[in-house]
Structure 1
Amino acid sequence: MKPLPVPPLNDTLERTLGCVDAVIDDAAPTHRLAHDFAVGAGPRIQKALENYAAGQWDCLRGGIRVPGEDRDSVEHGPRTAADREIVVFCAGRAFVLPVSDAEGRVAPRAELAAGFTRILEAAGGSAPDGAGEGPGFTDASYRGSGDDEFRAWLTEPANTDVHERLARALFCVSVPAVAGASTAGVGDEPPGCAPVPLHRGTTGRISR
């Protein structure tokens, strides 16, 4: 959905006063208040609204929350539609599933379904050895772990790769493992749609 711009301040005031004039006989006090707002706090509030509107769709780009010493921040994903991925959590493992190609074309539904089926098969219904150990910086359980511990976690190249991959992901989704999942009959999807396991660092929860 394309975001709509914030209407100019004068247009907003004119529309508001037009509605007021239609229902109130003596709208002079409201007109004075509108004038005071236009020459007073109005421009500042208008600017704040425009800045807010410009960033309110950032959440649709994907991204990841980053622990901070005093408060957390958000590292947003890219604005482009090309080469986008989603991260699928299943049975204590995380898989990257491409959902668009280099031209920004969305993968067909059948290819995505095949990718999910292969994820279920690869997950095998059980978590790998050691899964769940250490702080889970990729989910809400890292709260209270502290910025220092998170930075230490990032010193491992494998963990840095996981963090960057999560930040670039369009979104993350968790699916339950299905016993006996099979890829029979789903066909062979193009290599670009094949799910790729994320590497597991020694202190993180995302696993290979």
Structure 2
Amino acid sequence: MVMHERADGAIRERMGRIAGWSAALLLATLQPALSQDLAWSDVDCSASRLAAADGFRCRATQTYSPGGGSPGTYRFYTATATTGEGTTYLYLMEGVDDRSWVRLSRPLTEQLSQSIPLARAATGWSEVRLHAGSGYALFTGESGERCVGFRKAGPDRGAGHAWAILGIRCAPKGQTLGDTDIAAAIESARAK
């Protein structure tokens, strides 16, 4: 009887750790929509882990540990800009140490729609395509602008990636994005 109780206790402990790690993986893909638990602050773009050109507004969270038995620690960054060439929104999810990784388990269009304000009311999503290893899809924004949304994974780490960038690039209303615009948007989205 004592052996069964010990075995049951060990199984419960392992299940608790697995549940904690699963929760950490889920929380690693938390989006700004869930940011009420995260404190977002404006930061100088030179201090951001996102490579952002002049004219961008950058924000970052504090270092975040989801708890629940997870050893992971994460930080999130955004960079946004609206110019005569359109609107760009970048969102970086980063595991800040070797015990932290970002898992991309949701479909691209779902993750973009739930993560980035510009994609929440999107319509007319295209099939997902690939450019330089990054998935992307075209869509129409809430105000009728033509946009591309993409997801770019960083180097492999643990059961996922060291970081991932979600991005949106929208042309000014009445204009379209060409293949060169799409490639440039994806290629310029980088972690420093």
Regarding TM over 0.5, the answer is no
Q: Which structure features the higher share of strand residues? A: 2
**Alignment TM class, shorter chain as reference:** under 0.3
Q: Which has the higher contact order (CA 8 A, sep 6+)?
A: 1
TM-score normalised by the chain length of structure 2: 0.27
TM-score normalised by the chain length of structure 1: 0.26
